[in-house]
Structure 1
């Protein structure tokens, strides 16, 4: 374990819709909206009371149906409406030190594009990016026009948050840790730009950039190489690549020009918890090696705290805590204690 900087964050991430759902037809849902002490601010206060440091993400893929029905992000008032939401949310962010405006805008841009294509009849169905088939599917490139729009929304949100909170502000990018096959360095730059670098460059004025990394993909003369089905693949069809986080962090640091990094997601979909520990241990070795080389990394947040609804199905299990979907029991896995001990060891060495 290296000498980590004071204040280095250790944690695990969760997303309410993916874990608990949003049962708006329940009388208890209505009660949550009106009963003192049960609103979303209560979660922040509880975290602070427990000595936890909340890292709040304001947009994690889902959005109001009415917003989508009037054009969503690409609508005439998309930016204004998002900024209005951020102004309202800022009112409960007192004491929150880290705020992410938008989760994985490069994936969000892809989803916006696919939704528009489905509505126009250009594609018949929306396919989950984590359904394992014969090969790991290669997703289409996000639309750069959508990327520009999301960057505009991010800028508007950052301005609001800077005026109304004392939080560090950034957004998080899905980093694929692309590598070039021999002779294809130029194609790698082309692919990286449209799929990641547009979003990393938009973070150059931010307080931090969130890196979300799981695996790596090769790029040949035709683009991203479909990952073949192999015995050691993860439950989502990804390659087992704990080194991906090091590749992603180094690329992010170079592309942003030195914006501080917060690992906001890293993990593995596996039913074998010993494999989760092995993957995470090696991933941390690669992360610490990058830090030893002078890259400013402020923390590591594991995905995910609990097994969750992952891109349309329950099967891929990323959690440090198992969830029984019938009885709703939650059972800590050995990886939870292992990560906790790893964090405690680093604190004593700081």
Structure 2
């Protein structure tokens, strides 16, 4: 069955600075990766050296037929010490924006994708009394970089970031994660306050501004409807309410959340991916439908969707099924503006290290040789047809 998407639809892939650049020694994640009893499987190190090889990577993406690229700024490169600004780092990211445009790729820029400078983290991080002012100042620094972007995102997945204290403790103890716990409410409110400060700076002087959120298909197990609704309200609804203040919402959907009477329920082992989550491509369309219910008029950009697998045929099958569900949601009225696959490259996947492979492009981490996978050509074909 032929499926088409709206005119002007964006097709591409996404990365995050710390996961691909390498050598981000001034942020708090680098320090955390090297701490005793770290929850990280391995340190990020050189990552995949995207900081120096971004031109080659964008050539591969554009050459396949895609028309959009999402990346993030590394705050600790731009402001390594408070008030000390690196013009060279700002110029670097400005060149990436220009490089996207030169290749016909619409740049989608995220200001903060989890990592923050060490000085920010050590002085209270997002719970510190100066956090909002500091983030607003960083947004001002970023204005010359993002002014020619297609879309700008203030924060990446604050609803997941607010779960990290619990997830880190579980990972350090070697405990399996059956699903995302409820986010810490104090952290949630701090992230959303910072997002609003960023909106105040960026709105009016830049492209459309939004917030990137983890989205899921919500499933009540064994009749636990009330428990599911309470979990969803904490994990999703309060963040969607805040996203309503922006120009669009970025949704990052990988799987479902099964909630039982006692909280998150683990998927069957045979259904899990290398990222230890359920292989459930239909979650994308179901999540988008829920966003439309909560925010009927809000434009939606799919800023991440993908699967951690070593089997590229499985990646293509997953993405095909996910996009068919997305197309059905669009047909039913959801205002979806684009789809950015996670990820462009096999890269550093936080606690999981380099084992979970999401990329459309494989990378030899000794030589940094790039090898495009069949899934990149497949997604490029979808982009050229603007449909399946």
Verify: 1:294 aligned to 2:333, yes or no: yes
Q: Pick from 151, 174, 178: which aligns with 1:137?
A: 178
- CA shift, 1:34, in A, is 6.0
SS class of match (1:6): coil
| RMSD value, Cα | 2.5
Change in Cα spacing, 1:20 to 1:92, as seen in structure 2 (3 Å) is closer
How far apart are the structure 2 equivalents of 1:334 and 1:246? 24
Match of 1:89 in 2: 142
How far apart are the structure 1 equivalents of 2:386 and 2:285? 19
Q: Which runs of 5+ in 1 are unaligned?
A: 119-124
Change in Cα spacing, 1:86 to 1:37, as seen in structure 2 (3 Å) is closer
Change in Cα spacing, 1:297 to 1:37, as seen in structure 2 (3 Å) is closer
Moved runs in structure 1, 4+ residues, more than 4 A? 23-26, 33-38
Q: Pick from 259, 262, 268: which aligns with 2:301?
A: 262
Q: Pick from 307, 310, 315: which aligns with 2:346?
A: 307
- CA shift, 1:37, in A, is 9.7
Verify: 1:48 aligned to 2:101, yes or no: yes
Match of 1:157 in 2: 198
SS class of match (1:56): strand
Conserved? CA contact 1:203–1:256, under 8 Å: no
Q: Which runs of 5+ in 2 are unaligned?
A: 27-45, 47-51, 53-76, 79-85
Match of 1:170 in 2: 210
Conserved? CA contact 2:181–2:264, under 8 Å: no
How far apart are the structure 2 equivalents of 1:79 and 1:257? 29
Q: Pick from 289, 313, 318: which aligns with 1:279?
A: 318
How far apart are the structure 2 equivalents of 1:317 and 1:172? 22
Q: Deviations over 1:120-175 (max 9, x none)?
A: xxxxx46279x8x7x5433432112221121111111111101422x111011111
How far apart are the structure 1 equivalents of 2:217 and 2:141? 36
Change in Cα spacing, 1:36 to 1:239, as seen in structure 2 (3 Å) is closer
Conserved? CA contact 1:268–1:279, under 8 Å: yes
Conserved? CA contact 2:4–2:327, under 8 Å: no
How far apart are the structure 1 equivalents of 2:6 and 2:276? 35
Match of 1:121 in 2: none
Matches within 5 A, 1:1-350: 1-22=2-23, 39-111=92-164, 113-114=165-166, 125=169, 127=171, 136-165=177-206, 167-230=207-270, 232-312=271-351, 313-346=353-386
Q: Which TM-score applies when normalising by structure 2?
A: 0.80
SS class of match (2:5): coil
How far apart are the structure 2 equivalents of 1:292 and 1:139? 30
SS class of match (1:234): coil
SS class of match (2:203): helix
Conserved? CA contact 2:302–2:336, under 8 Å: yes
SS class of match (1:283): helix
Conserved? CA contact 2:210–2:250, under 8 Å: yes
Conserved? CA contact 2:284–2:325, under 8 Å: yes
- CA shift, 1:270, in A, is 0.3
How far apart are the structure 1 equivalents of 2:149 and 2:370? 27
- CA shift, 1:69, in A, is 0.6
- CA shift, 1:176, in A, is 2.4
Deviates more, 1:200-209 or 1:337-346: 200-209
How far apart are the structure 1 equivalents of 2:87 and 2:131? 28
How far apart are the structure 2 equivalents of 1:239 and 1:126? 19
- CA shift, 1:257, in A, is 3.6
